[in-house]
Chains A and B, each alone.
Chain A
Amino acid sequence: MENNFNHSQFAHCESGVISTLISSYGLKLSEPMAFGITSTLSFVFIPLVKINGMPLIAYRDLPKNIVKKISKVLNIKMNKKVYSNKEEANDELTSLVNDGNLVGLQTSVFYLPYFPKDMRFHFNAHNLLVYGKENNDYLISDPVFEEEVKCNENELNKARFAKGAFAPKGFIYYPDEIPKDIDFSSIIKKAIKKNAKSMLTPFPFAGVKGMNKLAKKISTLKRNNNDRFLKNYLTHIVRMQEEIGTGGGGFRFLYAAFLSESKQYNLDEKILDEASALLIKSGNTLREFALLCVTASKNLDKFDAKVIAQKLEEASSYEKEAFTLLKKI
């Protein structure tokens, strides 16, 4: 398939890569749309699963969710492949991009040399696009960077075969066939309902209930010769919310943008507007919550668990309202 590739910068890596990838092959798809139609907005708090000794907290669905669902939702034929052999993976990528394909890749941020040093952690689910190769350097469109970047093949191979949680195993994806007539109106409706269902799930560690669970956990935190832990715990929540490519407010602004864009597809505009405004409110409240967490970490004398927990509960109440509305769309 011919492509018409243009690098753009996005708020979030996976939705950004899918937006560029699908748009380049002729079906214009914005980042909020890629995020929204795959029902990716989420909240998860699982105290038993630990990352660097901290509980798993996520503000969106699992990594790879967008890549997996987009082909199903839009009926796109997507080639997906994982490898066990580094050399084979590298050779195939080289021949794919030399043939003019745009290829999406899952990588670990830790091994990507063009990332700022302070940002390089063992996060294994960073997505990027490879669009060419010059000598031993791959030409890369990384959605969180302003400009295209280059990366040596040895270093990219390391990033593709990093181990640990969400190990990428050289995962690549590129579309084969993209249908022309797509009924966005019914796709969006379904996706919103699905997202509403997952946000309002009775399961206590996810969605609105999950937010309240975390709030409850925070309200029980006490200062008791554990300053280092408290500081790490509170900033860990903030990092998951603000820093891990969320574009601020834990993906809430991104979803609000999706709801607003959905208005052109013959859906209930009143519900969409109201819900979009509520999610903006939630995003802003989450940012106030992040500020409270950071202020407390800077000076634990001022740490007030109740106040911080209440902020998170406030955000969850807006989301409950928003998704109760959206359920009826």
Chain B
Amino acid sequence: MKEIEVPKEENKTLDGMQKVMYTKDSQGDFITENYGSNIEEFATKTAVDEYELLKEEALLDIKNGVSSPICFFMYENRMDLPTLASMVGMFAFRVKRHLQMKHFKKLNEKLLQKYADTFNISIDELRNFKHGK
């Protein structure tokens, strides 16, 4: 067995990109070599899937009138509450309120624009949120 094994497995999350790691050549000198690891693949996939799950849950809550579309777009953009708060430049507790439908309905144009800019969408997409169009 080699001192440092280099896995050569497929990692679909890299989409064809190749990463390198350090290992030793036959003379015992360190070199870099391409590798692919399905351990990494699974870990990445789990993180990506978690956001898909959060999105689905958000959709259900939006349908029931509990959560606001901001909640959906937050997860769509792979953000959590502190990240979104920092992006729009507001305190987290304020953003948290905007994630609720009852507070979202009262938001003015200026605040909506801030969120729309952050998510790179139009105000209309936020206000008249319809998923699956």
Contact = CB atoms under 8 A, between A and B. Distances in A.
B35 A116 contact: no
A11 B22 contact: yes
Nearest to A276: B30
Interface in B1-36: 3-5, 12-23, 29-30, 32, 35
Nearest to B31: A257
B117 to A, nearest CB: 11
A71 interface: no
Interface string A228-264: 1001100110110011000111000110110011000
A254 B83 contact: no
Interface stretch (A126-134, A171-179, A189-197, A289-297): A289-297
Given A118-B15, A253-B4, A260-B30, A10 B43 contact: no
Contacts of A253: 4, 21-23
A120 B12 CA distance: 14
Nearest to B29: A260
Interface string B28-69: 011010010101101111111010010000000000000000
Most B CB atoms within 10 A — which of A120, A235, A291? Answer: A235
Contact of A242 (B32, B40, B50): B40
A136 B82 CA distance: 33
Contact of B46 (A52, A162, A260, A297): A297
B39 A167 contact: no
Contact of B13 (A11, A116, A162): A116
Contact of B78 (A121, A232, A256): A121
Contact of B44 (A51, A118, A290): A118
A248 B46 contact: no
Interface in B64-83: 77-80, 82-83
B23 to A, nearest CB: 7
Interface string A5-22: 000011100000000000
A280 interface: yes
Given A163-B87, A248-B22, A294-B42, A239 B82 contact: no
A280 B37 CA distance: 18
A260 B87 CA distance: 44
**A interface, how many residues as a size bin?**
35 or more
B78 A110 contact: yes
Contacts of A117: 15
A146 interface: yes
A163 B86 contact: yes
A298 interface: yes
A104 interface: no
Nearest to B17: A116
A231 B48 CA distance: 13
Interface string A266-310: 000000000000001001100100110010011000000000000
Contacts of B78: 110, 120-122
Contacts of A260: 29-30
Contact of B42 (A116, A120, A235): A235
Among B14, B42, B77, which residue has the most Cβ atoms of chain A within 10 A?
B42
14 contacts: A11-B22, A52-B80, A116-B13, A116-B16, A163-B83, A165-B83, A167-B86, A232-B47, A235-B43, A243-B40, A249-B21, A253-B22, A256-B30, A261-B30
Interface of A: 9-11, 32, 51-53, 110, 116-122, 144-146, 162-165, 167, 228, 231-232, 235-236, 238-239, 242-243, 247-249, 253-254, 256-257, 260-261, 280, 283-284, 287, 290-291, 294, 297-298
Interface of B: 3-5, 12-23, 29-30, 32, 35, 37, 39-40, 42-48, 50, 53, 77-80, 82-83, 86-87, 89
